[in-house]
Amino acid sequence: MALRGLWLISHEQDARGNVLFSRRYPTVETRARRFNGASYVAVPEDGPFLKALLFELRLAGPEHSFVERQDGCARINKTSVYAIQTEHGDLWPVVAFQKSGLIYAAVPLAEQPLNPRPALVSISGISQAFALLSGLLAFLNSSQKNEAERRARVGQLPSLVTHACPLGTPLETNLSGSSSESSPLPPGGPPQKLPSWRTCAYKGKPQVHLCIVEKVKSAQYDKRDVADTWQVYGAVSCKCDVEGAAPNVSVSLNLPANGSPLQDILVHPCVTSLDSAVLTSSSVDAVDDSAFSGPYKFPLTPPPDQFTLCYYTSQVPVPPILGFYQLKEEESQWKLTVHLKLHESVKNAFEYCEARLPFFNRGPITHLEYKITYGQLEVSKEKSLLVWVIGQKFPKSLEISLTGTVAFGPASQQQAADPVCTGSTAYVKLYFRILDFTLTGCYTDQHSIQVFAAGKPKITAGEPVGIRGSEALSYVCFPLY
């Protein structure tokens, strides 16, 4: 488990990327050349690597032109593992993700030939790369107040990475508490036997806090030749207040009899062992009755601070809300129709729920007539967006509708623009959040947690559990073509 290279890239919207930090490991590159054989592709220099990565992430290249590699229907990427084009061929696997204007990227070592490409679960370096990049993300975002402080933390990366990943081998991935001021990095020497994240000892009654959050993303087209898509993304956060330098805790996630199996499970490095059935459950494979459905056990030596125990995906049978959207032009006005139906298996109690209808490439809304069966409709200040505030629950019928006509004034440069949503092409985005509920049925309780320490532990689980979506919201998209 080693890395061939590591990069931190700055990229703001409508701006060119800039490599803030990079580190390469020639000894690991030599091993890659030997392991990969004829399928070996060298890691390019920072300039070509940056250009190829931005293109692959769709952050650079022609804005309004169709590019088969980027926009083709055959491209379905469910992970953050990419293949980037270089002058010597496709470099794969490249682990990369974007957060707060920064791109975190790494090239893990694959200890086997890459043609044909092996399954991701067979390349152990991928999970190590994710863990180290997540640690760098936590380090750069912890106690960050301004741009100057971020630059100062970027300046600490050379010594931090030298300690955390010597010679390309990640030894320490929990970097959120690392700081050159509060805990100076040792100049060298063998790693400590005890986990370095447990720098302080807890005294008191053992307590374990767990929180499950699921996000759902769905796209519905209402067309026979275009399949609807939806998927659930989950995260389990944990905080263990347990005495001892290296305490042992075991956490289990459970599913009901009709629950949807968890897939693509990525665990925190403090997890000491894992069942092979958990590691091999992938969303790329078709789900059948033989799929592993738990319980999902995670024995671990927890850090003292809150951490994300695991991430997962799941393919639930149906999306939580079904929708239909139609937009037709009649003379100088546009007639719109929206129908929404809450699935009967979903808890009908929202913290918030609203549908947004944006109108791109048009002038401001000058006329609006509508009829809704539930909630209220608002027009944004920019006069380019309709907001349907549904509220905290659906009616007893679980179905609501919106019909109306809308007219627009002359278009201006200040109005919202989009190269795709032209003519009658449009969509609705639905944002909602439900507490004390998960789509997969995933849950945990005090009987699913074991703490091997003196005293009876206090378990907190259940209340924080909820479902939401991207950027603290969940959306369902209904494009019209």
Place of tokens 């379905």: 76
Residue range 218-226: mean pLDDT, rounded: 84
Query: Which percentage of the chain shows pLDDT scores above 90?
Result: 38
Distance CA(198)–CA(287), nearest Å, equals 39
Please determine, for residue 189, whether its predicted confidence score (pLDDT) is greater than 70.
no
Please determine, for residue 182, whether its predicted confidence score (pLDDT) is greater than 60.
no
Q: Answer for the pair 462, 443: CB distance below 8 angstroms, yes or no.
A: yes
**pLDDT per residue as tens digits for the range 158-174:** 989 988 898 999 888 87
Task: Select from 369, 373, 367 the least CA-distant residue to 355.
Answer: 373
Give residue 260's region: left, alpha or beta (phi > 0; psi -120 to 50).
Answer: beta
Which helix (H) or strand (E) covers residue 212, if one does?
A: strand 207-219
**pLDDT per residue as tens digits for the range 4-35:** 999 999 987 666 789 999 999 999 999 999 99
Residue range 65-79: mean pLDDT, rounded: 68
The whole-number pLDDT of residue 475 equals 35
> Distances in Å between the alpha carbon of 69 and those of 72, 77, 85, 129, 269?
6, 12, 10, 25, 34
The whole-number pLDDT of residue 453 equals 64
Q: Answer for the pair 406, 334: CB distance below 8 angstroms, yes or no.
A: yes
Place of tokens 């263990």: 240
The whole-number pLDDT of residue 143 equals 62
The whole-number pLDDT of residue 269 equals 87
List the single range of 191-195, 319-323, 357-361 with lowest mean pLDDT. Answer: 191-195
List the single range of 22-31, 46-55, 231-240, 449-458 with lowest mean pLDDT. Answer: 449-458
The whole-number pLDDT of residue 287 equals 53
| Higher pLDDT pick, 343 / 193 | 343
The whole-number pLDDT of residue 193 equals 45
Which range has the top average pLDDT, 53-62, 154-163, 187-196, 218-227? 154-163
Q: How confident is the model at residue 310 (pLDDT cuts 50, 70, 90)?
A: very high
Please determine, for residue 188, whether its predicted confidence score (pLDDT) is greater than 50.
no
Distance CA(247)–CA(207), nearest Å, equals 12
> Distances in Å between the alpha carbon of 265 and those of 121, 233, 385?
10, 10, 38
Q: How confident is the model at residue 445 (pLDDT cuts 50, 70, 90)?
A: confident
The whole-number pLDDT of residue 200 equals 57
- Phi first, then psi, for residue 78 (nearest 5°) are -100, 0
Please determine, for residue 256, whether its predicted confidence score (pLDDT) is greater than 70.
yes
Task: Select from 208, 265, 202, 205 the least CA-distant residue to 447.
Answer: 208
Q: Answer for the pair 362, 344: CB distance below 8 angstroms, yes or no.
A: no
Distance CA(344)–CA(224), nearest Å, equals 24
Residue range 142-151: mean pLDDT, rounded: 74
Place of tokens 């960050």: 144
**pLDDT per residue as tens digits for the range 112-127:** 999 999 988 888 889 8
Query: Which percentage of the chain shows pLDDT scores above 70?
Result: 81
**pLDDT per residue as tens digits for the range 337-367:** 999 999 999 999 999 999 999 888 888 899 9
Task: Select from 321, 337, 331 the least CA-distant residue to 434.
Answer: 321
Cα first-last separation, the chain = 46
The whole-number pLDDT of residue 61 equals 67
Q: How confident is the model at residue 241 (pLDDT cuts 50, 70, 90)?
A: confident
Q: What share of the chain is helix, strand, coil (3-state, %, to 5)?
A: 15, 35, 45
Residue range 219-230: mean pLDDT, rounded: 84
The whole-number pLDDT of residue 456 equals 60
Task: Select from 162, 103, 95 the least CA-distant residue to 127.
Answer: 95
The whole-number pLDDT of residue 474 equals 32
List the single range of 57-66, 245-254, 301-310 with lowest mean pLDDT. Answer: 57-66
**pLDDT per residue as tens digits for the range 398-436:** 999 999 999 998 887 777 777 777 777 788 999 999 988
| Average pLDDT score, the chain | 82
**pLDDT per residue as tens digits for the range 94-116:** 999 998 889 999 999 999 999 99
